[in-house]
A and B are shown apart, each in its own frame.
Chain A
Amino acid sequence: MNNIAPKLSREQYEENFAELHPAFTPVAATAEANRCLYCFDSPCMKACPTHIDISTFIKKITTGNMKGSAKTILSSNWVALTCAKACPVNVLCEGACVYHAKGEEPIQIGRLQRYVMDWYVEKGMPQLFTPAPKNGKSVGIIGAGPSGLACAAELALMGYEAVIYEAKHVAGGLDTHGIAPYKMKQQDSLNEVKMVEKLGVTIKTGIRVGETISVNELVRKHDAIFLGVGLKTPTRLGIPGEELNGVHDALTFIEKVTTRKWNLVDVGKRVAVIGAGNTAIDAATEAKRLGAEKVVMLYRRSEKEMPAYEFEFELAKKDGIEFQFLTTPKRIFGNGKVEAVECLKMELGEKDSEGRRKPKPVPGSEFQIPIDMLIKSAGQNIEETFLSGIPGLKTADGVVVVNSETLQTTNNKFFAGGDCINGGKEVVNASADGKKAAHGIDNFIFGRGK
């Protein structure tokens, strides 16, 4: 890469990646918890995809019953620590808090949840649940991301043998390898993995199903399979110059940043990021925090169509990220190493099937931006090749087709959840899916319930 940005001091890195929402002190937590109205049938609880009984766990903080509070949280959400730090709370629980209707600041639910989960981790994660006696049935879980962890934990609690197969050498999925370090530490995710293991779940890392072990073998070994495989690494842009040194895909770059060994991660002085989703924003802000002088985001539609959350956009602007809307990369120039990206201006045409106006290039509008590094983040897809190896499994619109009640796929032994069924949402959705699928599986195996 040309013009690698100078490395920063340890202190500077720590400052740049300092937590956006620092921990509460006990006094502040209690004061905030006491502000909660303890609503009956509360809207915040409905807005949380895992339906944590929020008013109850907050009430328990006020009485000093931290253990009870942790149990209330975990009984709904097995990755509640990650969620507490990474959930987009203002569009979920906090967005639904009745204080908005009162014209006041909502309760800081995420930070309170974190306060409880931090306490739980600090106490060494004591066992809060007693798994049911073994029922002799076994479920294989593919993927140790939040959906797989949640599914496995729930199954273990119900008495199943739960075995997770994870391709990477470290479990946790994107919780471990994706979430921005100023939101949470990798160690938080690893703690959560440990917690799930403590429930009796076996996690086999370094095993890629379909390669290390065949799908058929898994089917023979287990009574049911859960697919929590997430999405695969970004698609190619399909433009000339993509192979140049200095072109990175966002996820690989972000994964390096999550290790917190920031001095080992090279960034260019001038960086362009392609895309404007939450991942693209993360990549841009992380590049900036690593010391890049200038980071510009290129997005082919306008600000209005931007898929990133409003607060992520705000964060990026605060970090000094520049935005080039209605701009698409045409080719990347460089002599072995990236030197510039040639872009085309776009204009918005008719609406597509989703009602978004389709961008189309403005002829002759080419211009160049000199850069040292280019980060691609233009969407992710399901792993079609792997999934097509599962007999009878249907996909549609880029996701695995499931029954929305049971999360059973079109192959009745296979269930699925998380990013691979929703096309990429949040950790909390994956967590909710994992739990739901566990009950779908239980119902399938024992014919219980509905």
Chain B
Amino acid sequence: MVDLSTDCGGIKSPNPFWLASAPPTNSAYQVCKAFEAGWGGAVWKTIGAPVMNVVNRYAAIDYNGQKIIGLNNIELISDRSIEINLKEISETKKLWPERAVVASLMVESDRQIWHDIVKRTIDSGADGIELNYGCPHGMSERGMGSAVGQVPEYCSMITEWVTEVSTIPVIVKLTPNITDIRYPGRAAKKGGANAISLINTINTIMGVNLDTFEIEPSRGGKGGHGGYAGPAVKPIALHMVSEIARDPEINLPISAIGGISTWRDALEFILLGSSNVQVCTAAMHYGFRIIEDMIDGLTNWMEEKGFTSLDQVRGKALPNITSFGEMDLLYKAVAHIDEKKCIQCNLCYIACEDTAHQCIDLLPKDGKKQPTVREADCVGCRLCYIVCPVENCITMVRKENGGKPKTWNELVKELPQPMSLEDLRKFQHEHGIEIH
């Protein structure tokens, strides 16, 4: 039997799929409907300071006929009152005791105001609190959201104000609009957080109208930056999650967010160390029903692989992340084209010829031209592999070089420092690597 239940910093849920704090979790009506569909938890739409929204809040990038590869928004936090939100949280929790209901909070940077809202949240019966340090628009201009997340000192200070009165777990939600995500992560830890969630949205301008010169989407002629989410941000989120997961100073459970649309996406984050995942854009695109395949697909994968709990999976990919200095410089692979699969679109040829290393030839074959890799000159950059439209047509074939692996960090120790190009060339030459 596969058990999908998770515990993130003390907040339990029957499966790892939570709705992220966003429009899908605006109200009790929506959250209850989501729970009915099967979602394991929900982080309520952020509540707190009074706000007023504008229209045309969203914009999306479509790519090659695919809708919403990335979604941008300038929605503020909940525009409903704190009272109504807490009341509905309370009602929802009573109806769904075994699902996780987390309140997302954002108020002015005032210790008393924070104390007050934390206490009221605890009284509502919520399972935990998420601190929104991420919202990159509107709220940040008022000194909240990412204005906090971008300054580690504020981050730890406010977290401390919350944890000093909270009796329920506190998750700190980080903004990716920062150079090194580990600093606010460490600050959250310092402030006593029980878990970290990331990423919030990324600052973006979605487009410029070529007729009116307005920013897309335009609100009465004006536009501006908003927060970017959806499938396009997943790789950024994967990296940031792995940074938090690998940092020995942090060592906190992670709730991963950013471009998660399927169980496969979710698994990648779990393999990089996250306890559970949160979803927004995918739900906004297709509705709550996507949870069915998320649970089903994950369960089937676990069964197939022989796992019974997510604890057996969590972090399994982390040991495979390393720094450049630890990679084997002598690992050799060259591109190989399977001529039986090749459809002769010549995309590999032109990519290599114009923008790589000129090592694919068009050789005559059966009255046509067959792209063929000149292995001796292939540097193994993998460009042809990524442009080829036919699955498994180009493979990167491992070439035995007979020698032992050598990393850059080892090489630095062996060669006289500062390293000269001549010494490096000599090393390369000894190992059959020629730079043209």
Chain A residues with CB under 8 Å of chain B are: 27, 30-31, 34-35, 37-43, 62, 98-99, 101-102
**Distance in angstroms between the alpha carbons of A42 and B65 in the assembled complex:** 23
Residues of chain B from 382 to 408 with CB closer than 8 A to chain A in the complex: 389-390
Flag if A40 contacts B65 (CB, 8 Å): no
Is there an interface contact between A98 and B65, defined as CB atoms closer than 8 Å?
no
- Residue contact A41 to B346, C-beta cutoff 8 Å: yes
**Given A38-B347, A62-B64, A98-B343, 11 additional A-B pairs, CB 8 A:** A31-B64, A34-B65, A35-B65, A37-B345, A37-B389, A39-B346, A39-B347, A40-B346, A101-B344, A102-B343, A102-B389
> A-contacting residues of B (Cβ < 8 Å)?
64-65, 342-347, 349-350, 362, 369, 389-390
Are the CB atoms of A30 and B65 closer together than 8 Å? Answer: yes
20 A–B contacts from the bound complex (CB under 8 Å): A30-B65, A31-B65, A35-B64, A37-B345, A39-B345, A39-B347, A40-B346, A40-B349, A41-B346, A41-B350, A41-B362, A42-B345, A42-B346, A43-B344, A62-B64, A98-B343, A101-B342, A101-B343, A101-B344, A102-B389
Closest Cβ of chain B to A56, distance in Å, is 13
In the complex the two chains form, what is the Cα distance from A34 to B389 in whole Å? 13
B247 to nearest A CB, angstroms?
41
Q: How far is the CA of A35 from the CA of B63 in the complex (A)?
A: 11
Chain B residues whose CB sits within 8 angstroms of the CB of A62 once the complex forms? 64
Picked from A40, A41, A102, the residue with its CB within 8 Å of the CB of B390 is A102
Closest chain A residue, CB of each to CB of B369? A41
Which residue of chain A lies nearest to B65 when distances are taken between CB atoms in the complex?
A31
Contacts of B347 in A (CB 8 A): 37-40
Number of A-B contacts (CB under 8 A): 38
Contacts of A31 in B (CB 8 A): 64-65
Q: Are A98 and B345 in contact (CB under 8 A)?
A: yes
Inter-subunit contact B345/A40 (CB<8 Å): yes
Complex CA distance for A42 and B344, rounded to whole angstroms: 8
Chain A nearest CB from B313 CB (Å) reads 35
Q: Which residue of A lies closest to B393 (CB)?
A: A102
Considering the chains assembled together, what is the distance between the CA atoms of A41 and B350 in angstroms? 9
**Which 6 pairs across A and B sit closest by C-beta, in order of nearness?**
A31-B65, A101-B343, A34-B64, A40-B350, A40-B346, A39-B345
Chain A residues within 8 Å of B343, by CB: 98-99, 101-102
Min C-beta distance of A39 to chain B, whole Å:
4
A30 to B63, CA, bound (A): 10
What is the CB-to-nearest-CB distance from A303 to chain B, in angstroms, rounded to a whole number? Answer: 30
Q: Which of B347, B362, B369 has the most CB of A within 10 A?
A: B347
A30 to B343, CA, bound (A): 23
Task: Report Cα–Cα, A30/B67, bound state, in Å.
Answer: 12
Residue of A nearest to B353 (CB): A40
Question: Bound complex: CA of A170 vs CA of B408, how far in Å?
Answer: 78
- Shortest CB-to-CB span from B222 to chain A, Å, is 24
Chain B CB within 10 Å, residue with most, of A42, A98, A99: A98
Task: Name B350's closest neighbour in chain A (CB-CB).
Answer: A40
Give Cα distance in the complex from A30 to B65, angstroms.
Answer: 7
Chain B residues with CB under 8 Å of A40's CB are 345-347, 349-350
For B62, the closest partner residue in chain A by CB is A30
A39 contact set on B, CB distance < 8 A: 345-347
In this complex, the member of A30, A34, A40 whose beta carbon has the largest number of chain B beta carbons within 10 angstroms is A40
Which chain A residue shows the least CB distance to B345? A39
Q: Given contacts A37-B389, A40-B350, are A98 and B64 in contact (CB under 8 A)?
A: no
B57 to chain A, nearest CB (A): 23
Chain B residues with CB below 8 A from A98, complex form: 343-345
Q: Which B residues touch A102, using CB under 8 A?
A: 343, 389-390
Distance to closest chain B CB from A229 (angstroms): 36
Closest to B63 in A: A34
